[in-house]
Chain A
Amino acid sequence: MNTLVLVEHDNASVNDATLAVVTAAAKLGEVTALVAGSNCGGAADAAAKIAGVSKVLKADDAAYGEGLAENVAPLVAGIMADYDALLAPATTSGKNIAPRVAAMLDVMQISDILSVEGPKTFTRPIYAGNAIATVESSDAKLVITVRGTAFEKAATEGGSASVEDASGAGDAGISSFVSREVAKSERPELTSAKVIVSGGRALKDGETFESIINPLADKLGAAIGASRAAVDAGYVPNDYQVGQTGKIVAPEVYIAIGISGAIQHLAGMKDSKVIIAINKDEDAPIFQVADIGLVADLFNAVPEMTGAL
């Protein structure tokens, strides 16, 4: 089976989510990586070095620079004439583009796969991760998005793929990019962090959140996450949100502070290797999934912990 991987990149390097997609794609067959962007030569060269990638297609055009689905999807759909499967990361970018490609090819997409069970059989979570469905496709071609935390990341060195130019129709002329507001952070990226310190509604306000959570995260070199309640209350920006409707994470250690553990939140973090919970309510559902729990008032316990580490 010839598989095409839609690479997510910043024009210079390939992101971690894509490395997991390469691993999933390699289970199906030979892997070609598609790098679409504007001045994306650096990313194409980086993609060529990924272990397991046998060819890189580079579509370098101003129309693909901002990743607009209206421009990128026709490019991908055209290239798919020569491929049996498209795999994209289940990131906001992959989720935006892949279904558009699937409809253009008249196939059903399989979203957010957790495993490859056979050439056309995959598992995926439904109902906020409360059930795992095994699905088999009857379509001639496959379009799949891959949950990044469910597959090992392919090595970024060791490959020596050739880079070929590819082209499509360019600008569809129905949409344009206006601006981007990037949430600045010196910390590790949430979805690829080894340790995450996450805060909930109990943190009271933005200032308290920062004064309690940040020092602990600094000590542990951790990324900072938040529950939906903390985001909705405006303590932190919404791209901190861990959960079904936010980011899905699976770090080595997830420390949940003042988070009750609603199913929406658990769906985003319950595959973490070790879960630590600090909550003053001993009946909080988070303790049902926590490996290590401490029933205590976070306003005393967390600063004490930070001090002792």
Chain B
Amino acid sequence: MKILVPVKRVIDYNVKPRVKADGTGVDLANVKMSMNPFDEIAVEEAIRIKEAGKAEEIIAVSVGPAKAQETLRTALAMGADRAILVETDEEVEPLAVAKILKAIADEEQPGLVLLGKQSISDDSNQTGQMLAALMNRPQGTFANTVEVDGDAVIVKREVDGGLETVKLTMPAIVTTDLRLNEPRYASLPNIMKAKKKPLDAKTPADFGVDITPRLTTTNVAEPPVRQAGEKVEDVAALVAKIKELGIA
């Protein structure tokens, strides 16, 4: 079986984003970019499934600017076999990304598509579910454990109030939660080898997908700023404050 792993290039999770003064967006010029953390977990899980002898090939795919190549090389250095870059300088919404991924899945026929549960840039949490709908295949979102069992995949999901286990008939779409695994670091020799692995360049038009946005962002603003309050001297003063609040 093949595993398809979509990855996204996003602002590094350690960087505090700055909103542009003109309200048009977040300033991404000269900001460190990295692979979306949930996608790293997806790549790692795909590699573990392959190492367990349950997959033959891992294909990493990214939709984004030419620089998303770096993100794909990272996936290749971790252990993906080949990569596909669907290049565009436009912002592509989850629905359009899902349509492109469906077209790629139709060609490649993966048994599993492993995605991150959400990107830390737009925080949408939609692409995996949308892809599952377009492919009319089952979805295992917020995966905490993934176990391939014959032609099915058993997914333990993180839900409000605990954990839930579902059994999905493959091909299936799985989105990763934080606790699924601890992604590995790419070693220097593997980074060198990754430079020789195949990377196909495509465009959204190759798949006949219209990426015109459905949503227009009219403004991006700083969230309301909270004022720092006062510091109290000791526990007695804190307890007095809590009593004033009327909760004890």
Q: Are A293 and B215 in contact (CB under 8 A)?
A: no
- Picked from A66, A135, A288, A296, the residue with its CB within 8 Å of the CB of B218 is A135
Q: Are B95 and A111 in contact (CB under 8 A)?
A: no
Does any Cβ of A come within 8 Å of B21's Cβ?
no
Question: Which residues of the other chain, B, contact A183 by a CB distance below 8 angstroms?
Answer: 161-162
Q: Are A309 and B159 in contact (CB under 8 A)?
A: no
Most B-side CB within 10 Å, residue of A98, A127, A275: A127
Q: Are A179 and B219 in contact (CB under 8 A)?
A: no
Does any Cβ of B come within 8 Å of A121's Cβ?
yes
Interface size on A, residues (CB 8 A): 92
Q: Are B247 and A99 in contact (CB under 8 A)?
A: no
Q: Are A92 and B159 in contact (CB under 8 A)?
A: yes
Does any Cβ of B come within 8 Å of A1's Cβ?
no
Q: Are B133 and A103 in contact (CB under 8 A)?
A: yes
Q: Give chain B interface residues in 89-128, CB to chain A under 8 Å.
A: 93-95, 98, 117-118, 120-128
Q: Are A127 and B26 in contact (CB under 8 A)?
A: yes
Does any Cβ of B come within 8 Å of A62's Cβ?
no
Question: Which residues of the other chain, B, contact A287 by a CB distance below 8 angstroms?
Answer: 228, 231
Q: Are A289 and B216 in contact (CB under 8 A)?
A: no
**Minimum C-beta distance from A306 to chain B (A):** 10
Given contacts A125-B123, A130-B16, A134-B219, A219 and B95 within 8 Å (CB-CB): no
Does any Cβ of A come within 8 Å of B160's Cβ?
yes
Does any Cβ of A come within 8 Å of B141's Cβ?
yes
- Picked from B168, B223, B229, B231, the residue with its CB within 8 Å of the CB of A129 is B223
Q: Which residue of B lies closest to A127 (CB)?
A: B17
Q: Are B133 and A99 in contact (CB under 8 A)?
A: yes
Report Cα–Cα, A183/B26, bound state, in Å: 38
Interface size on B, residues (CB 8 A): 79
Question: Which residues of the other chain, B, contact A309 by a CB distance below 8 angstroms?
Answer: 239, 242-243, 248
Q: 10 closest A-B pairs (Cβ-Cβ)? A: A291-B229, A99-B129, A103-B133, A103-B130, A99-B126, A108-B214, A175-B138, A178-B165, A134-B219, A127-B17
Does any Cβ of A come within 8 Å of B222's Cβ?
yes
Does any Cβ of B come within 8 Å of A245's Cβ?
yes
Report Cα–Cα, A30/B114, bound state, in Å: 39
Interface of B, helix, strand, loop or mixed by DSSP: mixed
Q: Are B123 and A127 in contact (CB under 8 A)?
A: yes
Given contacts A133-B219, A179-B164, A291-B229, A95 and B235 within 8 Å (CB-CB): no
Q: List 23 A-B contacts (CB under 8 A).
A: A92-B142, A95-B129, A98-B129, A100-B129, A100-B139, A103-B98, A103-B131, A108-B215, A110-B215, A121-B218, A129-B223, A132-B222, A137-B214, A181-B162, A182-B161, A239-B161, A245-B118, A275-B226, A292-B231, A292-B232, A293-B229, A308-B236, A309-B239
Report Cα–Cα, A137/B215, bound state, in Å: 5
**Minimum C-beta distance from A63 to chain B (A):** 14
Report Cα–Cα, A16/B180, bound state, in Å: 29
Report Cα–Cα, A276/B160, bound state, in Å: 25
**Minimum C-beta distance from A119 to chain B (A):** 14
Q: Give chain A interface residues in 96-114, CB to chain B under 8 Å.
A: 96-104, 106-112
Interface string of B124-163 (1 = CB under 8 A from A): 1111111111100111011010000000001001111111
Does any Cβ of A come within 8 Å of B83's Cβ?
no
**Minimum C-beta distance from A249 to chain B (A):** 12
